[in-house]
Amino acid sequence: MAATKASKEQKYDRQLRLWGDHGQESLESAHVCLINATATGTEILKNLVLPGIGAFTIVDGHTVSGEDVGNNLNLIFWVLMVDPLDFNRAQAATELLQELNSDVSGNFVEESPNKLLDNNPEFFNRFTIVIGVQLPESTCLRLDSVLWSASVPFLVCKSYGLIGYMRLVVQEHSVIESHPDNALEDLRLNQPFAELKNHIQSYDLDSMDKKDHSHTPWIIIVAKHLERWLSEHNLQPPKNYKEKEAFRQFIREGIRKKENGVPEDEENFEEAIKNVNTALNPTKIPSTVEDLFNSEECNDVTSQTPSFWVMLRAVKEFALNEGNGSLPVRGTIPDMIADSQKFINLQNVYREKAMQDAAAVSKHVECLLQSIGKYIANRRCRCLGKNSSFLRVVRCRSLAEEYSVDTVNKDEITSSMDNPDSEMVFYLMLRSVDRFYQQHSRYPGKAKVYTALSLINVRLCIHPLCYDDCRYGAAEPHTVAAFLGGSAAQEAIKIISHQFVPFNNTFIYNAMSQTSATLQL
């Protein structure tokens, strides 16, 4: 048991550094459904099996064709072993994907999704996420309806020639750990909390010896100078460029000088000057979080309310009370030039405040849960407090809304078409190809017959694109399948782990120009 745990930690080491042990646990509890083991489908699943999802089930009623084999490593292997080219694609793909990771359990159902929906519509409710690949429009819409009611996230993927397409359908997806790339520091210098104030107070820059002076953290240096500035400027912090420059100069004057008047080499002061902008960032609740605070789910908490909203409400209560209009303190500070003790002491001031705030949030959670008669097991209030500025909720429209004539997002489509380089044109192409298939039960150009296509209510001269459609003839080149395979797998991992932020809601990749676009349709 211990041996397997250790080797799993080693095997997954490189990814554990991205989503942590708790992220890995959520992956290992997930059961992913893939509909259609085409090249794209198996590429997506490969990138989910390798990181160790708990289980997958492939739903596919197709038998293997020669075309399939050319494109799919897994199936090629199978073909070598078994002679007749007439076995089920789902089975073939399952056997080989299993091989990639013995921790994952694979299953297959030799049935078309339409049949399953006819006979057992609740079949899909058991999955953490359903990924549908190269599905016709009608099947997509049927699945959309079932999965939307069951609140199961649905990811639609398509490779068509050199175009890749993904559509995420999820009613509401909450993210606490969004891991933003360039987060602003939470230093509270414009409104220092009591413990921080006291700590700053404990420093007397003028009476320090040379060594201490040049090893004082820049946060203290800025705080001290800010105090003086405020008292001399009617309690107004530096606001525009001119004032900030003056403030920087003011700090520079604080650098000790040698006997001959030449300034000492005080790197910590240089750091303070460099970080003035960061330091002067006002402490504010981000608009994304404000919007969440103002939403119905947050304000109307009942026993049916999902945990995330209960937690969010608790944060809001904190902000309105103990927080004095601010979110819980994050508790981290960047590294800076300082001696060990000064740095650790300062860091601890922030850390302890963060812990205090998290405890206050936890109390609010407790109160809320009591009042609505609900229980939440793993609250992770420390994590919530630390990430309170970065909370995100993603809501994607259903396919029904996208496709319906009444609710189609005409504005987004027509405004995108103003830009000749927009990828929107490929979205329209794919929709028209789907329509063609719906009407003719085959894709244009597949049998080397070039036919004209009818388009959906949009009058455009895009004949070159129709021509290109036909040229592709529903080809699924491997490199496009592989690109989509990586992209879709990572979006699925985001859905499963609730870490990092999924796209909303349509992604188009153009391998010809190596460009992409995200559209909200």
Partner 1 sequence: MADAEEPEKKRRRIEDVTEKMAVDGGHRDGGCDWDGRWNHVTKFLERPGPFTHPDFEPSTESLQFLLETCTVLVIGAGGLGCELLKDLALSGFRLIHVVDMDTIDLSNLNRQFLFRPKDVGRPKAEVAADFINSRIPGCKVVPHFKKIQDFDDSFYRQFHIIVCGLDSIIARRWMNGMLISLLSYEDGVLDPSSIIPLIDGGTEGFKGNARVVLPGMTACIDCTLELYPPQINFPMCTIASMPRLPEHCIEYARILQWPKDKPFGETSLDGDNPEHIQWVFERAQERAAQFNITGVTYRLTQGVVKRIIPAVASTNAVIAAACATEVFKIATSAYIPLNNYLVFNDVDGLYTYTFEAERKENCSACSQVPQDLQFPSSAKLQDVLEYLTENASLQMKSPAITTTLEGKNKTLYLQSVKSIEERTRPNLCKTLKELGLSDGQELAVADVTTPQTVLFKLNFTT
Q: Whole-number minimum distance, CB 423 to partner 1, in Å?
A: 10
Q: What is the C-alpha to C-alpha distance for residues 281 and 331, in angstroms, rounded to an integer? A: 16
Three-state DSSP state, 322: coil
- Find out whether 245 and 228 touch, Cβ atoms under 8 Å: no
From the CB of residue 50, how many other CB atoms can be counted at a distance below 10 Å?
16
Nearer to partner 1, 99 or 122 (CB): 99
> How near is the Cβ of 510 to partner 1 at its closest, in Å?
9
Ordered DSSP codes for 267-320: HHHHHHHHTHHHHTPPP---HHHHHHHHSHHHHS--TTS-HHHHHHHHHHHHHH
- Does residue 141 interact with partner 1 by CB under 8 A? no
Question: DSSP H helical segments within 52-207, as ranges?
Answer: 66-71, 73-81, 89-99, 113-119, 137-149, 194-201
CA dihedral 112, 116, 117, 119 (to 10 degrees): 140
Q: Is the alpha carbon torsion for 59, 63, 67, 72 positive or negative? A: positive
Q: Considering only residues 423-452, where is the footprint of partner 1 by CB under 8 A?
A: none
Of 52, 61, 121, 286, the one binding partner 1 (CB under 8 A) is 52
185 near partner 1, rule: CB under 8 A: no
Total residues found in the chain within this entry:
521
Selected binder of partner 1 within 23, 41, 51, 132 (CB under 8 A): 51
The pair of three-digit structure tokens given for residue 332, joined into one six-digit string: 């981290």
Q: Which of residues 278-317 bind partner 1 (CB under 8 A)?
A: none
Question: By CB under 8 A, is residue 512 in contact with partner 1?
Answer: yes
Distance, CA of 227 to CA of 242 (rounded, Å): 19
Among 3, 5, 17, 202, binds partner 1 (CB under 8 A): 17
Residues 324-353 touching partner 1, rule: CB under 8 A, are: 335-341, 343-344, 347
Size of the site for partner 1 (CB under 8 A): 86
Task: Tell me the C-alpha distance between 340 and 496, whole Å.
Answer: 40
- Amino acid in position 280: L
CB of 480 to partner 1, least distance (A): 7
* 269 touches partner 1 by CB under 8 A: no
Q: What angle do CA 511, 516, 517 make, to 5 degrees?
A: 150
Pattern 346-385, binding to partner 1, x per CB under 8 A? -x--------------------------------------
Q: Are 319 and 327 in contact (CB under 8 A)?
A: yes
Give whichever of 116 and 219 is closer to partner 1, judged by the CB atom. 219
Site for partner 1 in 485-504 (CB under 8 A): 485-487, 489-491, 493, 500-504
Q: Cβ(39)–Cβ(72) under 8 Å?
A: yes
Residues 6+ apart with CB under 8 A from 452: 466
The DSSP code for 207 is G
Nearest-angstrom CA–CA distance, 233 and 486: 55
Is 99 a binder of partner 1 (CB under 8 A)? Answer: yes
Pull the structure tokens for residue 440.
């003719």
Select from 4, 29, 302, 515 the one that contacts partner 1 (CB under 8 A). 515
Q: Which is nearer to partner 1, 11 or 382 (CB)?
A: 11
Minimum Å gap between C-beta 339 and partner 1 is: 5
Cβ proximity of 435 and 456 under 8 Å:
yes
Least distance from C-beta 292 to partner 1, angstroms? 16
> Of 318, 309, 317, which Cα lies nearest the Cα of 393?
309
Among residue numbers 456 through 485, which ones bind partner 1 (CB under 8 A)?
464-465, 467-468, 471-473, 475-480, 482-483, 485
- Strands 163-169 and 506-510, how do they pair? antiparallel
Q: 275 or 326, CB closer to partner 1?
A: 275
Question: Closer CB to partner 1, residue 283 or residue 499?
Answer: 499
Whole-number Å distance between alpha carbons of 337 and 215: 6
Tokens 């490189």 map to which residue? 14
Candidate list 70, 136, 263, 325; residue touching partner 1; CB under 8 A: 70
| Residue with Cβ nearer partner 1 (81 or 262) | 81
Q: Are 353 and 193 in contact (CB under 8 A)?
A: yes
Work out which of 42, 57, 71, 88 binds partner 1, going by CB under 8 A: 71
Nearest distance from residue 238's CB to partner 1, in Å? 28
Closer CB to partner 1, 244 or 478, in the complex: 478
Residue numbers 150-169 binding partner 1 by CB under 8 A: 161-162
Q: How far is the CB of 19 from partner 1 (least distance, A)?
A: 9
**Interface characters, 205-244, with partner 1 (x: CB under 8 A):** ----------x-----------------------------
Q: Least distance from C-beta 454 to partner 1, angstroms?
A: 20
Q: How far is the CB of 243 from partner 1 (least distance, A)?
A: 31
Residue 76 lies near partner 1 (rule: CB under 8 A): yes
Indicate whether 56 belongs to the interface with partner 1 (CB under 8 A). Answer: no
